[in-house]
Amino acid sequence: MSCQVVDYETMPDPKRFNFQVRVEDPDFTDTGSVTIQVTDVNDNAPVFTPEYDTAMLTEGPNTDIGTLVATFTATDMDSGENGQFE
């Protein structure tokens, strides 16, 4: 028997464990199959790229409302709804 930490994002597909359990008493034995389906949890924070940036903005008549100052991209390693953000 072994123990290990399960991490959905690093597991290969299919994300499940299959094994058999055998029980015995002095007169009989039986075997059962077990499947554990691993599902994702929200365990990763979104990450910004670039993580930090500096932008300069000059006030005055040439700077309109809505002027783009900087662009960032955010990613999240979680899957499904856990990997979505606003």
- pLDDT of 37 reads 96
Residue 43 and residue 18: Cα distance in Å, rounded?
A: 24
- pLDDT of 62 reads 76
Whole-model pTM?
Answer: 0.58
pLDDT greater than 80 at residue 6? yes
Residue 74 and residue 48: Cα distance in Å, rounded?
A: 4
**Span 34-81, pLDDT tens digits:** 999 999 999 999 999 988 888 888 877 878 888 888 888 999 999 989
pLDDT greater than 90 at residue 86? no
Amino acid identity, position 42: N
